[in-house]
Structure 1
Amino acid sequence: MNGTIKIGDKIIGDNQPTFIVAEIGLNHNGKLELAKKMIKAAKESGADAVKFQKRDLKSLYKKDIYENPNKDSQSTSYLFEIFKKFELSKKDFIELKKYCEHLGIIFFCTPFDIKSAEFLSYLDVPIYKISSADLTNIPLIDFIISKKKPLILSTGMSQIPEIDFTYKFLKKKKADFSFMHCVSTYPTAFKDVNLKMIPFLKEKYQVPVGYSGHERGIIIAIGATTLGAKIIEKHFTLNRSWDGPDHNISLTPSGFKKMVDRIRVIESALGTAQKNLSRGEYLTREVFAKSLIARKQIKKGEIITYEMIDIKGPGKGLNPQMIGRILGKKAKRDIKKYDFFYQLDI
C-alpha cells in the first residue's frame, strides 16, 4: 500500500480519484485576464487544480547571465526573454489565487527559487511543485519542507541515484510528497515516454506517483492512469498557435475535457483487483455455463460412476470441476434422469 498526501480537501493515493492538474505555466503570456479565462476554462474542463510558475530571475541566474543573457546559449537567451516577458506580478498571483477560490479550483505553483517559494508561502498555497530541473536542488526543497506543506516532485532528466538521494532526504525530513514520472523533452516522442516507470517508482518508493506529460494528445495520460498514476498533469492553453514555449504541446479545453472524461471512465473500469461476479455475470453464467447432470436414473445408495454423468447446460447445478467429488460416492438421494447434481450430492 502506497502512502497518501492531501491537497486541500483532496486525498491523493491508491483507491482515490486521479488528481488532474491543468498546467497553465506561462501560457497566460503574462496577461492577468487571459490567466483568469484559462482558469475558468480549466475548471469547466474538469481539472481539479491549475498550476502556474513563479520565478525571480535575479535569484535564478548568475549575475553575468542576468545582465547579458546572450553570453550563454541561444536557448538560455530565448527562455530568459520569455520568462521576463511573461512573468506575472505578485499582485496578479494574489488575485488569481482568490479567483481560484471563488471558482472552487485548487491553485498552486512551481517556485524555481527560494525567493519565489517565500512568496508562495505568503500566498499559503496548499502544495508546492518541484520541477524536474530542481529535483537535486536540496536547499530549495529543504526550504519548502519547512513550510509544512506537501510536495509534488517531477523526476524528468534525473537518474535513479539522484531520485534516491532526494527520496532519502525527504523521508529524513518526514515530508509528505509524491513523485511524478516525467520525460523532459518538448514534445516527448511516444517511444520515449516509458510509462513502465510509474509502477517502478510506486514499488520502489512506496509513495503516490503521478505523470507529468509533455507529449501531444491525451492517450498517454489515459494510459498512465491504468498503470497507477494518481496525479495527471498536462499543459493547458486556449490556442496552440500562440507564441510561447509550451502552447504547441498543450491541450485546449475540448481536448482536456476528453482526457478527464476518459480517465474517469478508466477509473471506474479498473475495479478493485478482487474477482466479484456482477449480477449480470451470474445471469450469463446460468445461461451459458455447463452443469453435471444424471445421464440415467440413479437410485439412492447406488455408486455413482462416470457412465451415469453427463455435462449439459444450463449452469444451474454443480459445475464440471466437481465431477471428481461425486465419482465413486453413494447417491444420497434418488436422482431422476437429466436432473442436476447439487452441492448436497457431494
Structure 2
Amino acid sequence: MSAFKFCSELKIGQSKVAQGQPTYIIAEAGVNHNGKMELAYQLVDVAVDAGANAVKFQLFHTEELILQDVEKAPYQQGDAADEESQYQMLKGLEISIENCRELKAYCEKKGITFLVTPFDIVSLAELKNLGLDALKISSTDLTNTMFLQQAASFGIPVILSTGMSEKSEVERALATIQPVNNQVVLLQCTSSYPAPESQIQLSVINRYKQDYQVLVGYSDHSVGIGVSPYAVAAGAMLIEKHFTLDKSLPGPDHQASLSPEELKEFVVQIRQVDMMMGDGIKAVQLCEEQNRKALQKSLVASCFIGRGELFTSENLVAKRTGGAGISSVHSSQILGLRASTDFAPGELIDV
C-alpha cells in the first residue's frame, strides 16, 4: 500500500490530465527565444499550429541561479574557443516577469495554455500572482526542499520532473509537496541531451503509478520525435518536448529540439497512440463483429445422437457455423443434458 495518495485527475487550462484522457502535450520553448520577445511570440505560434495543449517558457534571474564562475554543462558547450561561462550564457537568455505576463496574454488570445518553469526562489515568488494554470518544477530543483514547499503552496497543479535523481529523492520531494498540495504530475526524465535510448527507463512510469498513486508523465530528451509515443503507450498522461524555430540558431538547446515540422509530426504521432490506446475496456470492437460471427465456434453433433441420449464430450464438437447455433462457450451447460430430438452428424445442437 502506497504511503502517498495524490489526485487521480486534475485540470490544466481547458484540458484534463487523467487516465483515459488524451495525452497532455507541453511544447517546451524553454530558452529557445534567445532572450528576444519576437522569437518568443513566434514559438507560441508554432506550438499553436502544432496542436499542443500548452507552451512553456523558463523564468530565472541569473544572479539568483548560479555563481559567476561556473562552467557550462557539457551539452551547453560549443567549440573549443568557447570561453563563455554558464552565467554569461544564461544572462543572455533571460526574460522578465513582465515578458511572461505579455506572453501569457498572447497565449490566451491564441487559445493555448501558458506555463513557466521558475529556476530560483525570486522567480518563483514573482509567478505567485501571474494566474498560472500549473507550475512546472525542473529536475534541478527536485532536491531543493524550500523551493518545493513554496511551489506547492501556490495551490495549483505541480508538474515535477525527476531527472538525475534517486528513488529516495523522488519520495522526499513527494513527501514535501503532498501535505499542502495533492495535485501532482510526476515525470520520468533522463537529464542527458540527448538521452541515450538504453537509459530512458520507460518502466519507471508504471513504477511511479504503483508506488506513489500519482499521475505520471514523461519529459523527453531523446533524439527527434523519439521516445514520447512509446512513453504514452507505457502509461504517460503528460508529455513535454523541447522545440525551436531553427535548429541552427545559437544557444544551448536548439540542436536537441524539434523543428516546427517535427513538432507537428510529434503531436500527430502522440494523438495516433491516444487513439490506439482506446478506453481500456476489453470488448468486441465494431470491426470484429462480422469476423466474430464467421470465425467463432458453436456446438454440433460429432456423430449421430439419438433422442434422450446424453450430450457428452464424445458426441459434441465445436465448429465454425457462421454464427448459428449455441456458442461453444456454453458447453459446460449442455454436457449432461439429454437430447430432445435426434441429431445427425454435423447438425447444430438445439436444446
If the length of structure 2 is used for normalisation, what is the TM-score?
Answer: 0.89
Shift in alpha-carbon separation, 1:302–1:225, aligned structure 2, 3 A? same
Q: How much has 1:3 moved relative to structure 2?
A: 1.6
Aligned to 1:317: 325
Residue 73 of structure 1 pairs with residue 71 of structure 2: yes
Residue 56 of structure 2 contacts residue 114 of structure 2 at CA under 8 Å; is this kept in 1?
A: yes
Q: How much has 1:218 moved relative to structure 2?
A: 1.7
Structure richer in helix, relative to its length = 1
Aligned to 2:48: 43
Aligned partners of 2:308, 2:176: CA distance in 1, in Å? 74
- After superposition, the C-alpha distances for 1:319-342 in whole angstroms (9 at most, x for unaligned) are 445445434431134545533124
Aligned to 2:64: 59
Residue 83 of structure 1 pairs with residue 90 of structure 2: yes
Aligned partners of 1:207, 1:94: CA distance in 2, in Å? 30
Residue 268 of structure 1 pairs with residue 287 of structure 2: no
Where do residues 36-185 of structure 1 align in structure 2 (5 Å cutoff)?
36-61=41-66, 65-66=67-68, 69=69, 72-75=70-73, 78-185=85-192
Q: How much has 1:245 moved relative to structure 2?
A: 1.1
Q: How much has 1:317 moved relative to structure 2?
A: 2.4
Residue 7 of structure 2 contacts residue 183 of structure 2 at CA under 8 Å; is this kept in 1?
A: no
Aligned partners of 1:25, 1:260: CA distance in 2, in Å? 18
Aligned-residue Cα RMSD (Å) equals: 2.1
Q: How much has 1:202 moved relative to structure 2?
A: 1.2
In structure 2, what residue type is equivalent to 1:73? E
Residue 215 of structure 2 contacts residue 237 of structure 2 at CA under 8 Å; is this kept in 1?
A: yes
In structure 1, what residue type is equivalent to 2:178? K
Aligned partners of 1:171, 1:272: CA distance in 2, in Å? 29
Q: How much has 1:148 moved relative to structure 2?
A: 1.6
Aligned partners of 1:279, 1:162: CA distance in 2, in Å? 47
1:246 to 229, 253, 266: 253
1:33 to 28, 35, 38: 38
Aligned partners of 1:237, 1:263: CA distance in 2, in Å? 19
- After superposition, the C-alpha distances for 1:133-159 in whole angstroms (9 at most, x for unaligned) are 101111112122222222111000111
Give the gaps of 5 or more residues in structure 1. Answer: none
Shift in alpha-carbon separation, 1:89–1:172, aligned structure 2, 3 A? closer
Residue 4 of structure 1 contacts residue 207 of structure 1 at CA under 8 Å; is this kept in 2?
A: no
If the length of structure 1 is used for normalisation, what is the TM-score?
Answer: 0.90
Residue 199 of structure 1 pairs with residue 206 of structure 2: yes
7-16 vs 221-230, greater mean Cα deviation: 7-16
Residue 292 of structure 1 contacts residue 341 of structure 1 at CA under 8 Å; is this kept in 2?
A: yes
Shift in alpha-carbon separation, 1:325–1:243, aligned structure 2, 3 A? same
In structure 2, what residue type is equivalent to 1:35? A
Aligned to 1:330: 338
- After superposition, the C-alpha distances for 1:231-272 in whole angstroms (9 at most, x for unaligned) are 100001111121111111111122112121121121122123
123-132 vs 222-231, greater mean Cα deviation: 123-132
268-277 vs 218-227, greater mean Cα deviation: 268-277
Residue 211 of structure 1 contacts residue 231 of structure 1 at CA under 8 Å; is this kept in 2?
A: yes
Aligned to 2:14: 9
3-state SS, counterpart of residue 304 of structure 1 = coil
Q: How much has 1:287 moved relative to structure 2?
A: 1.3
Residue 339 of structure 1 pairs with residue 347 of structure 2: yes
3-state SS, counterpart of residue 270 of structure 2 = helix
Residue 134 of structure 2 contacts residue 159 of structure 2 at CA under 8 Å; is this kept in 1?
A: yes
Percent of residue pairs bearing the same amino acid type: 37
1:210 to 217, 237, 257: 217
Aligned partners of 2:187, 2:312: CA distance in 1, in Å? 62
Shift in alpha-carbon separation, 1:332–1:176, aligned structure 2, 3 A? same
Residue 7 of structure 2 contacts residue 182 of structure 2 at CA under 8 Å; is this kept in 1?
A: no
Aligned partners of 1:341, 1:223: CA distance in 2, in Å? 48
Aligned partners of 2:341, 2:261: CA distance in 1, in Å? 67
Aligned partners of 1:279, 1:125: CA distance in 2, in Å? 42
Aligned partners of 2:312, 2:187: CA distance in 1, in Å? 62
Q: How much has 1:113 moved relative to structure 2?
A: 1.1
3-state SS, counterpart of residue 178 of structure 2 = helix
Q: How much has 1:299 moved relative to structure 2?
A: 4.6
Give the gaps of 5 or more residues in structure 2. Answer: 1-5, 77-83
Q: How much has 1:297 moved relative to structure 2?
A: 5.5
Aligned partners of 1:301, 1:32: CA distance in 2, in Å? 89
In structure 2, what residue type is equivalent to 1:239? D
Q: How much has 1:73 moved relative to structure 2?
A: 3.1
Residue 137 of structure 2 contacts residue 160 of structure 2 at CA under 8 Å; is this kept in 1?
A: yes
Aligned to 2:80: none
